[in-house]
Structure 1
Amino acid sequence: GVLLQTTARTSAQFTVGRFLSFGMTGMTIVVVPIYLAETSPKVLRGMMTSTLQLMIVFGQLIASLVTFGTQHISGDKGWQIPVGLQFIAPAFIVGLLPLVPESPRWLLTRNRIDEAKVSLRRLYKNHTEAEIEQEVDILRHAHSTEEKGPWSEVFNKENRKRTMVAVIAMFGQQITGQAFSSQYSVVFYQSQGYKSQAFLFNILSNVTGLVCLIATWFMIDQIGRRPMLMIGGSGMAIFLFIVGGVGLEKHPNDSERGALVASFILFACSYNLSWAPVSYVVVSEAASTRVKEKTNLFASVISIITTFVTSFTIPYLLNAPYAALGAKVGFIYGSINWVMVGVAYFFIPEMKGRSLEEVDELFASGESLRNFSKAKTTPTATYIEDTARKEP
């Protein structure tokens, strides 16, 4: 994809390259959360899975800095350098892939027991051989070792609630207005009179977003997924309403314009403390192992469609001769954020500190989503015996 883009002589070739690159990005969004959830200790699963969003924002920051640094380069080099730098990350990843152990759960679904033990030893180097054997026995007796199910299982009676949670997480990540901040921030700042400073504000937003994501590492497995979505979502709504309030002024003064910029950046901070990273954590935990890849793919497709709709409509909402709302768009997305806070309260379960097998048990029990944090599950020490007792 990058090769097609950097060597493009027509817009059609460049577009095809973009499609290929974006397709591989979509694959990453589906596979990486699953892998991280399956290989992370349950007490660190939130932190590890949220690193996907950290890498996304880090990439955005690097791209912004490179674009800022090459803005005065004339000719094709001005765009080929930023685009061509995309070669670095794939080359780095391919070089390190031999060091990455395969998911033990995935290996066990293929009945590759010896390889699963090798992978577990690489993941848990301080554990004894007896503990590794016990972990393999637990996973083999749990539902995570069942064969992969067909697409119909994604929507059947046993899994439709889990699919709903995954879709809500990925839908909420995009419908809450991230495109307004990440894709149109420079244009928006310029429309508010910040011609030369607009790009610097965008870089500042990326830097603060990166700091917030690092802070998420230390909170998500302590505070939990659901509270972070609600607290962060509330912050997003408040700051967008401030943006909208400034938009009501026909001729805002410097202080009001400064408040608009600060609120816009703080909105991005709140997003990176909540929906941005937490959605990947929730989608990786909610889906049944039998249809995890399919569920994540379906949720990601919903996310991409939502991204397209919001990205396509924002220019029409912002600019004349269409809706020409300007900063008042903050009222629209601020209201959506309040709705999503309520949705998170009622429909996003708290799964922190639970193994994936415990999550399976909670969904199978029919427990209310709001009560997951209080519900008791089978202790790991007796899980094998309890499962064996239920087997014919």
Structure 2
Amino acid sequence: MAPTQSQFVDTINVSDIAQSEGFDTAAQIATETEHSLSFSQAMRLYPTAVFWAMVMSFTIVMEGYDTILMSNFYAYPQFKQKYGTYYPDLDQWVINASWQAALGDAATCGSVIGLLINGYVTERFGHRKVIMIALVVMSAFIFLTFLAPNIGVLLAGQVLCGIPWGIFAIMGSSYASEVCPLALRGFLTSFVNICWVIGQLIAAGVLEGLVDNTTQWSYRIPFAIQWVWPVPLFLVAWFAPDSPWWLVRKGRLADAEKSLIRLSSNLTPEEIRLKLAMMVHTDNLEKAMNTESSYWDCFRGTNLRRTEIACMVLAAQELSGEAFAYGSTYFFIQAGLSPSNSYKLNFGGTAVAFVGTCCSWVMMLYLGRRTMIIGGMTVMTTVLLIIGCLSYPAVHNTGATWAQAVLTMVWLGVYSSTLGPQSFALAAEISATRLRAQTISVARNMYNVVQIIANTVEPYLINPTEANLKGKTAFVWMAVATVTIIWALFRLPEVKGRTYEELDILFEKGVPAWRFKGTQIDLIRETDYIRGTAGEKEIFAEQRETVEE
């Protein structure tokens, strides 16, 4: 049976400092140790945490694969002939705008359901079990998309596949945020972006390789490849350790200690228990702040501000012009490039995204999340402005058309080195630990709502049978991105170098976003103040008296 928190106070008396100074000081020592760890030291001490965070994040490869797959099928010759409509006046097969919008939104609608489910089941059963069940369900739903005889069945298959994808969408960053030390947290929570890109890189390679295939297998094989992921990922989840933060929230402190041992290397038993003391200390502080593990709590008190930030920073991915510039094969073809050249550019774009994400890890050593996100969005907005301006000479000048194509690659490189990975990292870090799954679920659903709107609007802006704006579509997204930048300047805080307990204190004190980086925190004094103002001092009295005795 796991020890109670009162018994746990006795178990942390494993060093002279912890024994003499008390439970609060034990947590403070662990916090100071977190701050003192360099990147290289953290890699040496937590190699298994790095491994498990990375392999569990690979669940998002499937979502990245499907995202680029479906959006790029609209221009795919054999796919259009199977599911599209022939327009004699255009002398071509076209997936009309309404079906493009429906197919583009189908998986996202399913994902909304999956995310709502995830917020409940992950907190109850843990990351591992939820991932394993979702993988089995997804394997069954793939049959619908692979065998779809018409576009209606294909649409239904996409909705159903979206349910487990919604669960996978936040699992990697959520798990990584709870198994990694502070020095590695930003790198491994943003690793999901490179997994997303890996999925897109595979899809782009498959599409480019099969674009000249004149049989039904040119679009059925890409669907069938989705069966490659579930078995190895199921085995990974089976052997992975549970999140120690989740185990602490469940009161399973002995299991949490075992999990920390599995996630670390060369840490002494004293260091393990001090780290566990910090987790229990943070969990108790959040209890004193009346933070529980329900969706309702995401919209109460200081958690409302944290939920707003998580929602907006993920929605910023779409608000920056992702529907137009990310996976822009359809734009290339409408601009006048051949299908072959368009898919080659698309494949090259995913390679740019991969390199960009790797570059973001180097930038993270020197720059904070806030700086990278705001700076990246400013550059991306400027690129959209130039693309829109080039749409005027592009009508009669192929050089301008190629310049637009190259600029979408530039946009993608900036996105992948700034906003893309950093938004995942910040959304996973910003919430209270007791509301991690729920906050990320709400935030990801906000992204899905914005994505549905963007994917619905974009075909009508660019489709030749609708507004036919072509490159001028960039002006629309430039305006939306500018408004998002203004929000970020006033509301987006810096979380780099802050432990979860320090973030709890900063939000509880109502510190403005632009002052998060420079605000100094006295951990013991601030936590005592918060406990007192919450009227919860009695919760901690027994622990402190036990230590002092």
TM range (shorter): over 0.9
- Equivalent residue, structure 2, for 1:188: 331
TM-score by length of 2: 0.67
Cα shift readout 1:195-244 (whole Å, capped 9, x = no counterpart): 13111111111111110011112222430101111111111111111100
Answer whether contact 2:391 2:401 (CA < 8 A) is retained: no
Query: Which of the residues 173, 190, 215 maps onto 1:75?
Result: 215
Count residues in correspondence.
390
Q: Confirm or deny that 1:92 pairs with 2:235.
A: no
Query: Which of the residues 404, 407, 418 maps onto 1:263?
Result: 407
- Equivalent residue, structure 2, for 1:153: 297
Report the residue type matching 2:514 in the other structure. R
Cα shift readout 1:68-95 (whole Å, capped 9, x = no counterpart): 2122334332222111111112222112
Matches within 5 A, 1:11-30: 11-30=151-170
Q: Distance in 2 between matches of 1:101 and 1:228?
A: 32
The Cα of 1:329 is off from its aligned counterpart by 1.4
Indicate the larger mover: 208-217 or 188-197: 188-197
- Equivalent residue, structure 2, for 1:115: 255
Indicate the larger mover: 246-255 or 92-101: 246-255
Matches within 5 A, 1:1-392: 1-143=141-283, 146=287, 148-183=292-327, 185-195=328-338, 196-249=340-393, 251-320=395-464, 322-378=466-522, 391-392=540-541
Q: Distance in 2 between matches of 1:223 and 1:140?
A: 30
Q: Distance in 2 between matches of 1:248 and 1:64?
A: 29
The verdict on how the C-alpha distance between 1:80 and 1:324 changes in structure 2, with shifts beyond 3 A counting, is: closer
Cα shift readout 1:126-183 (whole Å, capped 9, x = no counterpart): 2110000111112112236757433221111221111111111111111111111234
Report the residue type matching 2:497 in the other structure. G
Q: Distance in 1 between matches of 2:292 and 2:517?
A: 28
Root mean square deviation of aligned Cα: 2.3
Indicate the larger mover: 214-223 or 296-305: 214-223
Indicate the larger mover: 72-81 or 345-354: 72-81
Cα shift readout 1:94-135 (whole Å, capped 9, x = no counterpart): 122234221101001111111101110111212110000111
Q: Distance in 2 between matches of 1:288 and 1:360?
A: 7
Indicate the larger mover: 5-14 or 216-225: 5-14
TM-score by length of 1: 0.92
Report the residue type matching 1:111 in the other structure. G
The Cα of 1:368 is off from its aligned counterpart by 1.1
- Percent identity at matched positions? 26
Rg larger in structure: 2
Q: Distance in 2 between matches of 1:86 and 1:349?
A: 38
SS of the residue corresponding to residue 98 of structure 1 reads helix
The verdict on how the C-alpha distance between 1:302 and 1:96 changes in structure 2, with shifts beyond 3 A counting, is: same
Indicate the larger mover: 24-33 or 313-322: 313-322
Report the residue type matching 2:322 in the other structure. Q
The verdict on how the C-alpha distance between 1:330 and 1:52 changes in structure 2, with shifts beyond 3 A counting, is: same
Indicate the larger mover: 338-347 or 232-241: 338-347
Q: Distance in 1 between matches of 2:304 and 2:531?
A: 27
Q: Distance in 1 between matches of 2:393 and 2:373?
A: 31
Answer whether contact 1:43 1:352 (CA < 8 A) is retained: no
Point out where structure 1 has 5 or more consecutive residues left out of the alignment. none
Answer whether contact 1:50 1:277 (CA < 8 A) is retained: yes
Answer whether contact 2:208 2:347 (CA < 8 A) is retained: no
